[in-house]
Structure 1
Amino acid sequence: MRHVLVALLFAASSFAAKPNIILILADDLGAKELSCYGNTLHKTPNLDKMAAEGVRFETHFSMPLCTPTRVCLMTGQYGFHNGFLGMGDKAFTPQKQSPKAEMGNHFTHADLMKSAGYATAQAGKWQLSGTLPTLVRDCGFDEYRMWAYDHNLPAGITHPAHEKGGNAPRYWHPSIVENGQYLPTKAEDYGPDLFNDFVIDFARKHKTEPFFIYYTSVLTHSPHLETPDPANPGKRWPATFKSNLEYLDHLMGKLLTSLKTEGLDDNTLVIFIGDNGTGGDGKATLTELGARTPCIIRGPGLGVKAGVVSKAVADLTDMMPTLAEFSGATLPKDVPFDGHSLAPVLRGEKEKHRDWIYSHLDDGRVLRDTRWLLEIDKGGKGEKFFDCGESRNGAGYKDVTNSTDPEVKAARQKFASILAGMPEPKPHEGMAAKEMKKSKADKKTKGMVKEGEGEKPASTSTPSPASMKDRDVRFAFRDQNKDGRIDHDEFMKTASGKDPTANEARFKKMDRNQDAGVSKEEFLNEK
């Protein structure tokens, strides 16, 4: 039925000249990391130039964690419609018997673009459902080059290299599947280069027809390894978050230059956003720091204004109707969509396209308009209400949670009315939400959130996990970024054992599904 719907939309669409669209999703990148958003430590000249030549949204919300963001972006729906309220807690993701559990059952942005006659491609991180040989293509993509976990590889194929902890690598000597086939790589191959090259090649091959590329960058997710040094072939930049971000910026510059070289620049809409707040500094928290991501949109020949810093609030759900408006595609009327097209703001026709934006994780929620911000932690705990004034970066926010001022009370009543119009996020019947320990990022006061803030070392005053007898407590301690799983770096840093080899072996054994992390279920059920 899904494919019939796509075919009918395809037949009904107009095939006049259409703009190309490249939608870029950076991994673990909060807005505050880019210099065009005020960061004074990181140099991002290519993204800054893209912002200067297009529209930069001061306040754009993603979900605070990877999977709900990716599903929301691909479907144009909040979790109460697409089923993915969260990620690590099974009480808030579709149950196995639910059709929503498989991404191929959803109407996606790639399906939308194919209905308008677009060639479609995906490059980079997938990390969603599906199996070979139809993996990724189930979701409307003609071609793809994806970072592949071991379980994504074709039968009989073993990738020769692995990161610490046994994860198939995304960076050096990357594990890659392209259009269902294993792509052999070498030790000196750098994954982000190969994904960027695929995007450039796909655009070049399809320059005579409209194309849509969903570019899901693996940068800037940990591990933050060395990157190539663009100015000195054979040499490398140091293994830091800063280097990883600045190399991502280099790749964005290379991509934009290629569009000009191929004569595609004027007729290509390029969208750059992040999937959640920065890892270890916002990610997985029910705060604006966890939800606020960069959003830069450029289309010089498509009516997109240049040099605009927009105060309009926007979120992930706005991308689907925006793609529809620019491509001329028709959104199916029997599918609910939660966003509003950004096109009027991009073209300078309106200052705003909606009144509020929304982010969620499990049963926690974040709601914002141009002035007020509501943060509700998981389980309805720790509700906070802020008067942001004209600020958009956390600086100077006033905590008015307990205020009885009539203006504050009216704003809270308005927000309560908005939330009452949505289904309340709850765990599946018969299931309880996981107890999650509050993270350091959760505890930051709003006036302390500053642009240009650097990475901070982990505290050394936390007790050793060996002293924690309760495994739930130990899991909460070892899951230091509070994303519901213990990644390899967290596992090794918090291990009570002193033998690195034994710790590596234990991590590999506990990571039963080989997804580069230990879930709470895997941790509690260790044999």
Structure 2
Amino acid sequence: MASSSQSCMIIFILMVLQAKLQVFGCIYEKQPNIIIILADELGWNDVSFHGSDQIPTPNIDALAYNGVILNNHYVQPSGTSTRAALMTGKYPIHTGMQGFPINPLEKRGLPLTETTMAQQLKKLGYSTNIIGKWHLGYYKLDYFPTRRGFDYHFGFLNRLISYYDHILEADGNNGTYYGYDFRRNEKVSRKYEGKYATSSFTEEAIKVIKNHKKNKPLFLYLAHLAVHGGNEGKVLEAPEETIDKFANIFNPNRRTYAAMVTELDKSVGKVLKTLEENHMLSNSIVVFLSDNGSPITVGYVNWGNNQPFRGEKYSMFEGGVKTAAVVWSPLIKDSSRVSEELIHVTDWLPTLYSAAGGNVSDLGGELDGINMWPSITENIESPRKQLLVNIDETINYGSLVLKKDSDDENGKSGTYKIIVGQTPDYTLSDFQPLDDLYLPKAYDIRKVLSSTGNKALKKVTNKTVDAALVISLRTKATIVCQQKSVLSSCNDICLFDLINDPCEQINLSTDNTYTSLIVYLQGLYNAQNKTLVPGPPQIFDDGPANPKNFNFVWSPWIGSCETVEILHPDIDTDTDTDNDDEESNADGNEIDSDSDDNE
């Protein structure tokens, strides 16, 4: 029989072992799976939970109505900067990533001194997987996602690819360049040519979930290509059978865009279903968001819609930087609600790190993101009172949002936004009306309640989402503005009262009543500006970066012999071997590339 001292020693050893298991993420039930689904350039008005009847999104809506709709969620005005902010928890002005999106001919990427969300979650024992788009640099192998904390990558490295042939064309100093961009981990993969990209990414996400070993939690970053516009001649692409479902939309481009959104929505439903079938949904956090507003007149126009807001991608107006966003988890105690609290894309790193059991202080003191987990789960007031939208020092253009809880010498309470500088000529500062050349269809609540996503969510929660709740939440999430015929222009400084003027139609900067508030906001803005890390100049490395040098595949062109041996398409193209099938995801599980998932 063990002595008392021996028993105490055994208990102590077990406690130490348990603590160590917790640190390394082996006590799985205490760490939630984290799934981030990032849409690309999806308009505010292109999810039906925001009030539009034109494009039904029943699965995304189900996630929204069962979770928390984040109606004041801000991102950056372009994709690279949003992805940098998401991965680092820092404003892009603090990483030098605040300018234009990375061109594939540029020697530029997220600085290697920065620690990504994947690297942080790996410290907590997570398997880390990225499916889809990276767009944070690739000119050196060191910038690949598999070298930035992700154990597994399936997708592309640059800003876009065509949805079927996976080609990217890019303009440089000496012309237009064409190349292929699709990889599994660090190997070029041609196995998926001809298959719709949204479907390929969805099926791969399903495989990762199915093959996930449950001795550690899963981090899945599903960064869709959808609904980004494409190359010239293939600007919008979707399966014909899906396009045909939108015969009520007369504009052919908008019709194809609607089909692209539909395929994205199906993806959300399939991911939720697979999580539930593999007994993982009941211990998961699912975040859905878009990286910026739809481009209406600039860049890769996709016929999205940012109504009722002004502006588009690259703009500081709400249409460019406020996007559809939803978070769902059974860990949220007060769900099925619309949150009007300020939240910024930088907040997701500390928020999810905290939810995963990490100590936010371990992330360092240089974060701009704030831990929003208590606010989200408990429905308590957000600790965020201000956020920097962006500062682009090259054109002296930026914006900041402030929430004032009380009246003081700096002005009245409210939520205010200051825009500094003039909206660039290349981006829209006006409203873009929703194309009315369509036969409207009534919002079908039954499709939401019977959707694949809602069925999966219903199985793991006790909450009943019914028609009355759907109507109530949809009404609260819908922003309605009486559009004025003449809008205030922003040539130097604009001030908007976002509570009383959410569509930014009345510039208050000329009203003497707000002089002290403007001075205060300018002070906050200037303080941020003093901390700005200048972005590198946009220099195209046309010759060495030309994909022609690599058998017309976009490949890193600066590095060691390792780069050539691993990545040169002439060595390993995956066209006539099954090496691709033997690649593993983050858990060391074999990914069966040839299997069909007809979920």
- Rounded Cα–Cα distance in structure 1 between residues aligned with 2:547 and 2:188: 23
Report the TM-score, using the length of structure 2 for normalisation.
0.61
336-345 vs 281-290, which deviates more?
281-290
Deviation, 1:36, is 1.2
Q: Secondary structure in 2 aligned to 1:398?
A: coil
What does residue 64 of structure 1 align with?
A: 77
Contact map agreement 1:64 1:361 (CA 8 A) in 2: no
- Rounded Cα–Cα distance in structure 2 between residues aligned with 1:132 and 1:256: 33
Q: Which amino acid aligns with 1:143?
A: Y
**Matching residue within 321, 334, 342 for 2:372:** 342
Deviation, 1:214, is 1.3
Q: Which amino acid aligns with 2:156?
A: W
What does residue 372 of structure 1 align with?
A: 416
- Rounded Cα–Cα distance in structure 2 between residues aligned with 1:251 and 1:197: 9
Q: Which amino acid aligns with 1:306?
A: S
**Matching residue within 90, 111, 114 for 1:77:** 90
For structure 1, list consecutive stretches of 5 or more residues without a partner in the other structure: 1-8, 153-158, 170-174, 435-483, 486-506, 516-527
Deviation, 1:181, is 1.9
- Rounded Cα–Cα distance in structure 2 between residues aligned with 1:324 and 1:36: 28
Is 2:279 the partner of 1:263?
A: yes
Contact map agreement 1:273 1:294 (CA 8 A) in 2: yes
- Rounded Cα–Cα distance in structure 2 between residues aligned with 1:427 and 1:101: 14
Is 2:295 the partner of 1:185?
A: no
Deviation, 1:206, is 1.6
For structure 2, list consecutive stretches of 5 or more residues without a partner in the other structure: 1-19, 170-175, 297-310, 404-414, 424-489, 541-545, 555-599
What does residue 222 of structure 1 align with?
A: 229
**Matching residue within 329, 353, 359 for 2:389:** 359
- CA deviations on 1:450-506 (whole Å, 9 max, x unpaired) are xxxxxxxxxxxxxxxxxxxxxxxxxxxxxxxxxx99xxxxxxxxxxxxxxxxxxxxx
**Matching residue within 485, 491, 496 for 1:386:** 496
- Rounded Cα–Cα distance in structure 1 between residues aligned with 2:312 and 2:516: 29
Q: Which amino acid aligns with 1:190?
A: Y
- Rounded Cα–Cα distance in structure 1 between residues aligned with 2:83 and 2:264: 19
What pairs up with 1:140-179 in 2 under 5 angstroms? 140-148=149-157, 162=167, 167-168=178-179, 175-179=181-185
- Rounded Cα–Cα distance in structure 2 between residues aligned with 1:353 and 1:103: 29
Q: Secondary structure in 2 aligned to 1:423?
A: helix
Q: Secondary structure in 2 aligned to 1:48?
A: helix
Is 2:327 the partner of 1:297?
A: yes
Q: Secondary structure in 2 aligned to 1:369?
A: strand
Contact map agreement 2:388 2:399 (CA 8 A) in 1: yes
What does residue 322 of structure 1 align with?
A: 351
What does residue 211 of structure 2 align with?
A: 205
What does residue 268 of structure 2 align with?
A: 252
- CA deviations on 1:147-199 (whole Å, 9 max, x unpaired) are 256999xxxxxx98746776446xxxxx4200112222355411111111111
| 1:62–1:10 distance in 2 versus 1, CA, 3 Å | farther
Is 2:243 the partner of 1:137?
A: no
- Rounded Cα–Cα distance in structure 2 between residues aligned with 1:40 and 1:412: 39
- CA deviations on 1:36-81 (whole Å, 9 max, x unpaired) are 1222322111111110010011111111011111111110001232
What does residue 284 of structure 1 align with?
A: 314
What does residue 470 of structure 2 align with?
A: none
| 1:10–1:336 distance in 2 versus 1, CA, 3 Å | farther
Q: Secondary structure in 2 aligned to 1:419?
A: helix
**Matching residue within 398, 402, 409 for 2:510:** 402
Q: Secondary structure in 2 aligned to 1:269?
A: strand
| 1:151–1:316 distance in 2 versus 1, CA, 3 Å | closer
Contact map agreement 1:63 1:361 (CA 8 A) in 2: no
Contact map agreement 1:28 1:274 (CA 8 A) in 2: yes
- Rounded Cα–Cα distance in structure 2 between residues aligned with 1:243 and 1:75: 33
- Rounded Cα–Cα distance in structure 2 between residues aligned with 1:381 and 1:425: 24
Q: Which amino acid aligns with 1:411?
A: L
Q: Greater CA radius of gyration, 1 or 2?
A: 2
- Rounded Cα–Cα distance in structure 2 between residues aligned with 1:84 and 1:194: 29
| 1:15–1:349 distance in 2 versus 1, CA, 3 Å | farther
Q: Which amino acid aligns with 2:510?
A: N
- Rounded Cα–Cα distance in structure 1 between residues aligned with 2:199 and 2:208: 14
Deviation, 1:376, is 1.8
Contact map agreement 2:118 2:150 (CA 8 A) in 1: yes
Contact map agreement 2:206 2:271 (CA 8 A) in 1: yes
Q: Secondary structure in 1 aligned to 2:258?
A: helix
| 1:89–1:416 distance in 2 versus 1, CA, 3 Å | farther
How many residues align? The count is 409
| 1:108–1:304 distance in 2 versus 1, CA, 3 Å | farther
Q: Which amino acid aligns with 2:416?
A: W
Contact map agreement 2:348 2:369 (CA 8 A) in 1: yes
Identical aligned residues as a percent: 24
- Rounded Cα–Cα distance in structure 1 between residues aligned with 2:352 and 2:91: 17
- Rounded Cα–Cα distance in structure 2 between residues aligned with 1:298 and 1:387: 30
Is 2:124 the partner of 1:116?
A: yes
**Matching residue within 5, 26, 47 for 1:34:** 47
Contact map agreement 1:149 1:514 (CA 8 A) in 2: no
